Structures are given as C-alpha cells and as structure tokens.
C-alpha cells in the first residue's frame, strides 16, 4: 500500500504544500487538519484563474513572503493543488500556517 506524501515537505530550497481548495466559500480561511489535510476556503470563484490567484495571495500574506514566491505547481484546474513556495523552510511555513 502506497502512503500519501506529507502535506508540507521540503524540496531542496523550496517547500511543497499539498492542499485542498474550496472556492466560493463564505469567507477566506485556512483549516489545518494535520497531518492528513490542509483546506483553503476562498471566496473567489473557480473561473479564469481567480481561485488560483486568490490562493497565491492568501498564502503569501499568511506566510509573510512575496506573492511571486508562491506558485501553483500542479492542479491549476483541480481542487487538490500542489503549491511550490520558493526559498522557504518547511518548519517555518508550517508554523505560519498554523498560527492565527
């Protein structure tokens, strides 16, 4: 049986973050159900990349990094996404996601 990779993992100098995005939510919020799942609820609709842009903006602000350091690596049209956070430490990213 194959196990799923961790939701937050180090990949060289970057961090890979696997999360579930729920568009058209009543408010923007992050729900950490670690170690199994991180859900990002966004008010943005899943139309013309609006939810992806909102996802990048939300994560950059939450982690305290420039939006240009947050990339959607896989899942641009899916709810399950893999996000690359450039030049980051997995422990620091996890701490920022869990704060608040």
CA distance 13 to 11: 6
Reply yes or no on whether the pLDDT at 14 is more than 80.
yes
Model's pTM, two decimal places? 0.91
What integer is the mean pLDDT of 60-64? 96
Per-residue pLDDT, 4: 65
CA distance 50 to 22: 12
Q: By percentage, how much of the chain surpasses pLDDT 70? A: 94
Going along the chain from its start, the domains and CATH numbers come out as 8-98 (3.30.1200.10)
Per-residue pLDDT, 61: 96
């Amino acid at each position: 049986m194959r196990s799923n990779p961790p939701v937050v993992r180090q990949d060289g100098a970057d961090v890979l973050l696997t999360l579930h995005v729920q568009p058209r939510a009543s408010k923007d919020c992050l729900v950490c159900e670690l170690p199994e799942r991180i859900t990002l609820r966004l008010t943005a609709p899943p139309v013309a990349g609006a939810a992806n842009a909102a996802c990048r903006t939300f994560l950059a602000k939450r982690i305290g990094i420039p939006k240009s350091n947050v990339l959607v690596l896989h899942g641009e049209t899916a709810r399950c996404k893999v996000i690359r956070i450039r030049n980051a430490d997995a422990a620091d990213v996890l701490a920022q996601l869990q704060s608040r």
